[in-house]
Amino acid sequence: MNSQVIKPTSSKQSQDKFPGIFLAGSIDMGSSVDWQTEVQEKLNDCEVAFFNPRRDEWDSSWEQRATNPEFNYQVKWEMDRLEETDIIFMNILPESKSPITLLELGLHAADGNLIVCCPDGFYRKGNVEIVCHRYGIPLYNDFESALTALRIEIKKYQ
């Protein structure tokens, strides 16, 4: 295994010499398919650090307020990793609403380090297309094409 996986509750919180990849996208409070693990498995041969925001012990009953310490930590962890990472790989699932993903797309559109996968069927795909076009963000309609683009981008760091 060449890659590292760093989650909000990992003891290690930063990558060593590897480029960092934040796995942004649909989670839906843990109810969406775990596509993050699939990315990690398919790109395990790459020397990268994956920042995976999907918490193993997420409790959907946590109040989503800044005053909730667990929620506050999670949001700040994601914001910090998004700001420091080399590549943001964003996967938007068509059956998801993904409001936080859309927020993150807006926050980081001008950063120049996004790769976005947004299949047909996503209810706000038009918005995603327009933002990606305006900021020159590579946009893919299928997961495998987006993964290929990610692999190519990773090679630029090695």
Over residues 10-56, the pLDDT tens digits come to 766 566 678 999 999 998 877 789 999 999 999 999 999 999 999 87
Q: Alpha-carbon distance 71 to 63, whole Å?
A: 7
pTM for this model (two decimals): 0.93
What pLDDT is recorded for position 13? 59
CA distances from 52 to 111, 129, 133, 135 (A): 19, 24, 26, 24
Six token digits for residue 37: 């693990």
What pLDDT is recorded for position 1? 55
What pLDDT is recorded for position 16? 66
Residue showing tokens 């918490």: 55
The radius of gyration computed from the CA coordinates of the chain, to the nearest angstrom, equals: 15
What pLDDT is recorded for position 31? 77
What pLDDT is recorded for position 126? 98
What pLDDT is recorded for position 59? 77
Strands 20-25 and 49-51 come out as parallel
Regions of the chain where pLDDT drops below 70: 1, 11-16
What pLDDT is recorded for position 109? 98
Q: Report domain extents, the chain.
A: 4-56+66-155
What pLDDT is recorded for position 45? 92
Residue 111 is given by DSSP the state: G
Residue pair 93/35 in contact by the 8 Å Cβ criterion: yes
What is the CATH code of the structural domain delimited by 4-56+66-155? 3.40.50.450
Residue pair 68/62 in contact by the 8 Å Cβ criterion: yes
Beta-carbon contacts of residue 61 (< 8 Å; ≥ 6 apart): none
What pLDDT is recorded for position 10? 77
Residue pair 142/148 in contact by the 8 Å Cβ criterion: no
What pLDDT is recorded for position 22? 97
